[in-house]
Amino acid sequence: MVVGLEVHTELKTNTKMFCGCVNVFGAAPNTNVCPVCLGLPGALPVLNVRAVELAMAIGTALHSTISPSTFHRKNYFYPDMPKDFQISQYDLPINAGGYLDLPDGSRVTIERAHLEEDTGKSTHLGGSGRIHGADRSLVDYNRSGVPLVEIVSGPDIRSSAQARAYVAELRGILIATGASDGRMEEGSMRIDANVSVRKSGEPFGTRCEIKNLNSLRSLQRAIDFEAQRQADLLDEGGAVRQETRHWDENLATTSTMRVKEEADDYRYFREPDLVDLIPDLAWQQRVRDALGPMPAQRRSTLSARLDLPTDALLGAVEVVIDLGLDGFVNGAIDAGVAPELAIARAANELAASIDTLDNLTLASFVATLMMEQRGDLSATQAKSILLELLAAGGDPQAIAASKGYERLASGALGDLVATLIEANPDEWSRYREGDEKLAQFFVGQVMARTKGQANGKEVIAELKARR
């Protein structure tokens, strides 16, 4: 199969692309609107400089050439597009060419990454639930005019797994450049996939475009389904018709949206209300200088800190980098926390509460992990403190004290273990005969009696000493 992807990403600017309305997700419908983004008669667009900078940052990270560019109007009628044209870039995009290297060593070329504005969002009520055949349609223009960058790959992708890896890596880059929050479920990244099949060595086949895939899972499933559909068609002696297709997540199939002959003629022409966008070299350099390391480099930096890079640990490193948690991990390692512990807590506890990460400071993360590492806290206790820090912030020592998390005196633990051995003679003798599973039985008993205050490893040490 041959796949090329078009990834649309909303830029994380404070304001919209051509007006001063705030750019946020989830506000009450039609509250972040003004004459410009509503396309009212007489209103004119003024380009958001920050959007240009973020587009240049993306281009720099993708090894594109930042170029003098122009804006065009893409004309077509649609109710969620207030001007009935979209301001986009056409023959002269701001970022031309480039490439993205994937973790498996393959390279996907980038054709262009251009700026354009988002549309409003339609909700179709009753009837068919689609625009034609619904009883009523409601439009929310809060999203209208939100800046987008569309990143177009070359037809270089050869499997759905590679497509997935490409989008995952691209997502990491978009987050690292500060251009996007990468929240696919909120629609801040949307993907169109161009899929064709051919026998190995033959020229490209006729392609179909699958529109609006908004998760890695849908992307992979849709590509697999579509490639199989085309292959079956060809095997039966049929031909693939060039068309735009819709992915139905529930049915797990693609279906025809429109065929090429019905394709719109967008009547592109230069947007006369905007001037040419020619970023000077000094501006380009400032953007380049402000750019931090990209995920690939950060991944190798962090992996290099591991003594024994097992697959599981490297998987956790991947999660840490994807979520941008390496600042916490590297900070903790610098402060003396074991890399394995720092990575594990970041890839699990921090990852699970990523939306409230702002509550956690590096200092409190380090302090919690150091307490755990010293044995002042059990793993369970450390996790519960992190959970609390992530939920509401605070001081880890104070939280530990308020929860009564104090380290058991080693003598007290020994006494408790001795008591439990006496109370459970059968389990003890099976453990002594070599049934290691029963160690967990005793750990569980200790945890129950101490309300989780004991350290599991110390319990096992006590058991072993008595075996």
Partner 1 sequence: MNSAEQIARDVQSGSMSATSVLQMSLDAIRARNEELNVFLYVDEEGAFETASSIDARIAKGEDVGPLAGVPVALKDNLCQDGIPTTCSSKILEGWRPPYNATVIDRLLAAGAVPVGKTNLDEFAMGSSTENSAFGPTRNPLNPSRVPGGSSGGSAAAVAADMTPLALGSDTGGSIRQPAALCGLVGMKPSYGLVSRYGLIAFASSLDQIGPLTKSVTDAAMLLEAIAGHDEMDSTSLAEPAPSLVAHVNDGVAGKRIGLVRELIDGADEDVVASVERAVEALREAGATIVELSVPEFRLGLSAYYLIAPAEASSNLARFDGVRYGLRVNEGDVTAMMEATRTAGFGDEVKRRIMLGTYALSAGYYDAYYGQALKVRTLTIDAFARAYQQADLLLGATTPSVAFEFGSKTSNPMAMYLSDVFTIPSNLSGEPAISVPFGTGEAGLPTGVQLLGPGRSEATLFAAARVLEIAND
**Minimum CB distance to partner 1, residue 115 (Å):** 14
Interaction between residue 49 and partner 1 (CB under 8 A):
no
The pair of structure tokens assigned to 287 is 């953007």
CA distance 151 to 303: 29
Interaction between residue 273 and partner 1 (CB under 8 A):
yes
Among 274, 291, 314, 387, binds partner 1 (CB under 8 A): 274
Interaction between residue 237 and partner 1 (CB under 8 A):
no
Which one, 270 or 403, has the nearer CB to partner 1?
A: 270
The pair of structure tokens assigned to 197 is 């099949």
Among 14, 68, 79, 391, binds partner 1 (CB under 8 A): 79
CA distance 129 to 149: 29
Interaction between residue 203 and partner 1 (CB under 8 A):
no
Interaction between residue 166 and partner 1 (CB under 8 A):
no
Strands 208-213 and 243-248: parallel
Count other Cβ atoms within 10 Å, centred on residue 128. 10
Interaction between residue 35 and partner 1 (CB under 8 A):
yes
Interaction between residue 257 and partner 1 (CB under 8 A):
no
- Binders of partner 1 among 108-147, rule CB under 8 A? 131-133, 137, 139
Residue 374 class from Cβ within 10 Å (0-12 exposed, 13-18 middle, 19+ buried)?
exposed
Strands lying side by side in the sheet with 85-88: 85-88, 72-75, 269-270
Among 22, 24, 44, 448, binds partner 1 (CB under 8 A): 44
Which one, 132 or 199, has the nearer CB to partner 1?
A: 132
Interaction between residue 90 and partner 1 (CB under 8 A):
no
Count of alpha carbons within 13 angstroms of residue 145, beta-carbon side:
31
Interaction between residue 92 and partner 1 (CB under 8 A):
no
CA distance 246 to 256: 6
Which one, 46 or 448, has the nearer CB to partner 1?
A: 46
**Which residue spans within 26-120 are E strands per DSSP?**
65-66, 72-75, 85-88, 95-96, 99-101, 107-117
Interaction between residue 84 and partner 1 (CB under 8 A):
yes
**Which region, judged by CB under 8 A, interacts with partner 1, from 195-203, 251-259, 268-276, 370-378?**
268-276
Residue 314 class from Cβ within 10 Å (0-12 exposed, 13-18 middle, 19+ buried)?
middle
**Which region, judged by CB under 8 A, interacts with partner 1, from 83-91, 192-200, 382-390, 392-400?**
83-91
Interaction between residue 439 and partner 1 (CB under 8 A):
no
Which one, 77 or 201, has the nearer CB to partner 1?
A: 77
Interaction between residue 280 and partner 1 (CB under 8 A):
no
CA distance 304 to 165: 22
CA distance 165 to 310: 20
Binding positions for partner 1, rule: CB under 8 A: 35, 38-47, 73, 75, 77, 79, 82-85, 131-133, 137, 139, 265, 267-269, 272-275
